[in-house]
Amino acid sequence: MNSQPNLPVPKPAARSEPAFVPNPLRLVAAPYLAKNQRRSRFLWIGDATQPVTEIEITPNLSSRYQIPRAADLPVVTPFRLKILHFNDLHGRIAHLAPEGNIPVFSRLVFRYHQQQRKYADNPQAGVLLLSAGDDMVGTPFDALVSEGNHPYDLYQALGVDAAALGNHDLDLGTHALAKMIQRSGAFPVLSANLMPPAQLKKCVYPAALLDVKGVRVGIIGLTTSAQMKGSDARNLTFVDPVRVVKNLLPVLRPYCHVLIVLSHLGYDLHSTSATVEGYGDRQLAAQLPRGAVDLIIGGHTHHILNETCLDQGNIVNGIPIVQAGTLGRFLGEVTITLRDQQQPATVTNAKLSVTADLPVDQAFEQIQITPIVASLHQKLNQPLGIVANHPDLETDAVLNDFASHESAFANFITAGMVAQARKKGYAVDFALTDAAVVRTGLPTDNLVYGDWFAVMPHADTLRLFQLTGEQLWALLQDNARRANRCGEPHLERGFVQFSGQIRYQIRLGENRAAARATEIFVQGIPLKEQLAQTFTFVTHSFIRQAACHWERQFQQQYPAIALFDLDQQPSKDTEILLREALISHIKIDGGVTKAGGVVRDGRLQIDDI
Ligand SMILES: [Zn+2]
């Protein structure tokens, strides 16, 4: 019989209450908005990603805000709160049509001013104007951002009450965003589920509290973690939005007659217009206590909701959800009615106004918009030089053959990336790019800024990677599998083109699994002799991101072959815009020229035998 050794009996762990960790949110007064709009406005500062334990009121707030509960504040009821909202403007403050500039933002301004005038002397009604995020990036107006021209300035001038932080608002990097918000002074940008890095701590807040004629309106901002393209934005931490709203509810609710979530999460997890991660607004509403907030104003997925009236299908768990399309085509209008203070606020109406049908606020158009559009036209018409005569620069070649063979256009782009990265002090060995960064070809004669913007409308920034020679070998083998094969359509497969420092051959073989990269040379030396060496290369932030769909299909077809995942490699982001870096390169040689790199030099040979 085996004797069991006497094991020491573990002592039961001492039962202890979880330690109380104080995490107050501080309520501070925000500066006034535009001069004509002395609405009291407050910001909640602190960490909403942890349970919030109390509200701390800064002593300099007026006695009115020393009263902790909204219920004790007398409000003249019934009160109608009119909320105008837009989302995903992407900087499109005007539509640049061939026949001239068609006003967009000034029409929203007209409606806002009209509503303000209508309710100005009515103590039982007030107006708010909110943006649900993605205020910038994605239209030619991006060309002006580097000169300090961006929508937040206009919002500040107009008196937009708050905006949620959208994923594209981070495309240009957190430093650039911080600068834009600071320049706009009092304009509040909200995101409660972002753990803000140091540079955003004093610019992005979890929530705001607005006082509209004595009615307190709480606004919680939320940001999707999806589609973070820009430089350091990918390294940001976003916390589960349901948890964050639940952290805030018990402490904010008593302060608010009306509580709104201003969300850039996207409408629904199953949306196809943009990637929604974790929760869409529908899933968020379903997870909150019933009716916990009075309204979710959404964005990100460009949904056109409640065109004529509040659709019952957009009320989830007692919480109405609204969203107003994209690019300023619609202005959302919601009415919230406060019948008396004993009853919760109710959304009594929601609809969309078609922006094109609204009159233009001529004063705003002339003073604020016209100068911006004029400088945009000037910028877009800025001559950049000549265009070399090469078939690879034509739109037809760009759209069909970018991944079929060596491309003189890709060679120009990678040469420019190497030169500009080195000029900025980054010791790079080579560059790579993919077709997703190039949207069209070039004109056949002279090049203006607008032509180059059409080629690269995305806000990619330069990104640096390090690979060992062995990893580079794996990357090249992987690349061979992504090349266009005879008779197949050009899909976005993430095929990368290299700068001239890399020369190799691709043998396509009988199928993608059999494709091989061979005869690989780096700086004229066989890669085989440099497998232990570390190489630094420069690429751009959105590299291979458009290839996810094809990658999933490939993995299903060839589960034994691991694709090379660039995102898993150590990388460093810069805030250098690819488009602007290449414009600097273009200017050096007076255009897109052979001297700048428009040449096929046999660095890549694809052999389909
Ligand atoms: Zn978005």
Question: Is the same domain home to 371 and 444?
Answer: no
Question: Is the same domain home to 422 and 547?
Answer: yes
Q: How far is the CA of 168 from the centre of ligand 1 (A)?
A: 6
Find the mean pLDDT for residues 328-354.
Answer: 95
Q: How far is the CA of 604 from the centre of ligand 1 (A)?
A: 37
Q: Tell me the residue range of the domain where 131 lies.
A: 41-49+77-377
CB count within 10 Å of CB 223 equals: 29
Question: Is the same domain home to 144 and 193?
Answer: yes
Question: Distances from the Cα of 444 to the Cαs of 323, 385, 387, 389, in angstroms?
Answer: 42, 11, 6, 7
Q: How far is the CA of 425 from the centre of ligand 1 (A)?
A: 33
Q: How far is the CA of 241 from the centre of ligand 1 (A)?
A: 15
Phi then psi for residue 424, to 5 deg, are -85, 5
Q: Is residue 511 part of a domain?
A: yes
Q: How far is the CA of 357 from the centre of ligand 1 (A)?
A: 26
Phi then psi for residue 285, to 5 deg, are -60, -40
- Look at 25-39, 229-243, 408-422 and tell me which has the smallest mean pLDDT: 25-39
Collapsed DSSP state (helix, strand, coil) of residue 333: strand
Query: What pLDDT is attached to residue 211?
Result: 87
Q: How far is the CA of 112 from the centre of ligand 1 (A)?
A: 24
Q: How far is the CA of 234 from the centre of ligand 1 (A)?
A: 14
Please spell the DSSP secondary structure of 475-523, one letter per residue.
HHHHHHHHS--TTS-------EEE-TTEEEEEE--SSGGG-EEEEEEET
Please spell the DSSP secondary structure of 19-53, one letter per residue.
PP---EEEEEEPPP-STT---EEEEEES-TTS---
Residue 8 CB burial class (10 angstroms; 0-12, 13-18, ≥19): exposed
Crossing angle for the helix pair 578-588 and 408-423, to the nearest 10 degrees: 100
Q: How far apart are CA 86 and CA 133, in angstroms?
A: 8
Q: How far is the CA of 496 from the centre of ligand 1 (A)?
A: 27
- Residue at which a domain ends, from 349, 377, 405: 377
Strand extents, DSSP E, 355-445: 383-387, 430-434
Q: How far is the CA of 231 from the centre of ligand 1 (A)?
A: 16
Q: Give yes or no for residue 268 having a pLDDT over 70.
A: yes
Helix then strand count (H, E) for the chain reads 13, 32
Query: What pLDDT is attached to residue 3?
Result: 44
Q: How far is the CA of 224 from the centre of ligand 1 (A)?
A: 7
Helical segments of 391-468, H only:
395-401, 408-423, 449-455
Q: Is residue 269 part of a domain?
A: yes
Query: What pLDDT is attached to residue 160?
Result: 92
Query: What pLDDT is attached to residue 63?
Result: 56
- Residue at which a domain ends, from 350, 377, 404: 377
Q: How far is the CA of 88 from the centre of ligand 1 (A)?
A: 7
For residue 366, what is the DSSP state?
A: I
| CATH code of 479's domain | 3.90.780.10
Find the mean pLDDT for residues 147-162.
Answer: 88
pLDDT one-digit tens code per residue, 271-296: 877 788 889 999 999 999 999 999 99
**Total tally of structural domains belonging to the chain:** 2
- 590 vs 573, residue with greater confidence: 590
Q: How far apart are CA 291 and CA 295, in angstroms?
A: 9
Q: How far is the CA of 91 from the centre of ligand 1 (A)?
A: 13
- 423 vs 15, residue with greater confidence: 423
Q: How far is the CA of 115 from the centre of ligand 1 (A)?
A: 28
Q: How far is the CA of 165 from the centre of ligand 1 (A)?
A: 9
Question: Is the same domain home to 348 and 391?
Answer: no
Contact 333, 84 (CB under 8 A): yes
Query: What pLDDT is attached to residue 296?
Result: 98
- Look at 40-44, 50-54, 262-266, 308-312 and tell me which has the smallest mean pLDDT: 40-44
Q: How far is the CA of 166 from the centre of ligand 1 (A)?
A: 5
Q: How far is the CA of 21 from the centre of ligand 1 (A)?
A: 34
Q: Is residue 5 part of a domain?
A: no
| CATH code of 243's domain | 3.60.21.10
Q: How far is the CA of 483 from the centre of ligand 1 (A)?
A: 31
The CA-based angle 179-183-188, given to 5 degrees, is 90
Question: Is the same domain home to 370 and 472?
Answer: no
Query: What pLDDT is attached to residue 530?
Result: 97
Question: Is the same domain home to 406 and 334?
Answer: no
- Residue at which a domain ends, from 356, 377, 398: 377
Note the Cα 368 to chain centre separation in Å.
25
Find the mean pLDDT for residues 342-349.
Answer: 92
Calculate what percentage of the chain has a pLDDT beyond 90: 64
pLDDT one-digit tens code per residue, 538-564: 999 888 888 888 999 999 999 999 999
Find the mean pLDDT for residues 439-450.
Answer: 92
Q: How far apart are CA 26 and CA 46, in angstroms?
A: 6
Residue 506 CB burial class (10 angstroms; 0-12, 13-18, ≥19): buried
Q: How far is the CA of 90 from the centre of ligand 1 (A)?
A: 9
Q: Give yes or no for residue 608 having a pLDDT over 70.
A: no
Collapsed DSSP state (helix, strand, coil) of residue 358: coil
Q: How far is the CA of 333 from the centre of ligand 1 (A)?
A: 21
Read off the tokens for 441.
């070809």
Q: Give yes or no for residue 247 having a pLDDT over 70.
A: yes
Q: How far is the CA of 264 from the centre of ligand 1 (A)?
A: 6
Q: Give yes or no for residue 489 having a pLDDT over 50.
A: yes
Q: How far is the CA of 600 from the centre of ligand 1 (A)?
A: 38
Question: Is the same domain home to 324 and 354?
Answer: yes
Q: Give yes or no for residue 180 having a pLDDT over 60.
A: yes
Q: Give yes or no for residue 17 having a pLDDT over 70.
A: no
Question: Is the same domain home to 332 and 435?
Answer: no
Q: Give yes or no for residue 342 having a pLDDT over 90.
A: no
Find the mean pLDDT for residues 237-264.
Answer: 94
Q: Give yes or no for residue 478 having a pLDDT over 80.
A: yes
Q: How far is the CA of 300 from the centre of ligand 1 (A)?
A: 4
Q: Give yes or no for residue 218 having a pLDDT over 70.
A: yes
Q: Is residue 510 part of a domain?
A: yes
Q: How far is the CA of 301 from the centre of ligand 1 (A)?
A: 7
Q: How far is the CA of 437 from the centre of ligand 1 (A)?
A: 19
Query: What pLDDT is attached to residue 231?
Result: 56
Q: Is residue 6 part of a domain?
A: no
Query: What pLDDT is attached to residue 198?
Result: 86
Query: What pLDDT is attached to residue 260?
Result: 98
Q: How far is the CA of 229 from the centre of ligand 1 (A)?
A: 11
Query: What pLDDT is attached to residue 592?
Result: 96
Q: How far is the CA of 96 from the centre of ligand 1 (A)?
A: 22
Q: Which residue has the tokens 């600097």?
A: 584
Q: How far is the CA of 324 from the centre of ligand 1 (A)?
A: 13
Q: How far apart are CA 408 and CA 398, in angstroms?
A: 10
Question: Is the same domain home to 182 and 274?
Answer: yes
Question: Is the same domain home to 470 and 565?
Answer: yes
Query: What pLDDT is attached to residue 1?
Result: 41
pLDDT one-digit tens code per residue, 78-128: 999 999 999 999 999 999 887 888 999 999 999 999 999 999 999 999 999
Contact 356, 106 (CB under 8 A): no
Q: How far apart are CA 133 and CA 165, in angstroms?
A: 5
Q: How far apart are CA 544 and CA 596, in angstroms?
A: 25
Q: Give yes or no for residue 39 having a pLDDT over 70.
A: no
Q: How far is the CA of 457 from the centre of ligand 1 (A)?
A: 16
Q: How far is the CA of 169 from the centre of ligand 1 (A)?
A: 8
Closest CA to 414 of 207, 151, 603, 197: 603
* pLDDT, mean over the chain: 89
Query: What pLDDT is attached to residue 35?
Result: 52
Collapsed DSSP state (helix, strand, coil) of residue 139: coil
Q: Give yes or no for residue 38 having a pLDDT over 80.
A: no
Q: How far is the CA of 133 from the centre of ligand 1 (A)?
A: 7
Read off the tokens for 430.
């080579």
Contact 186, 156 (CB under 8 A): yes
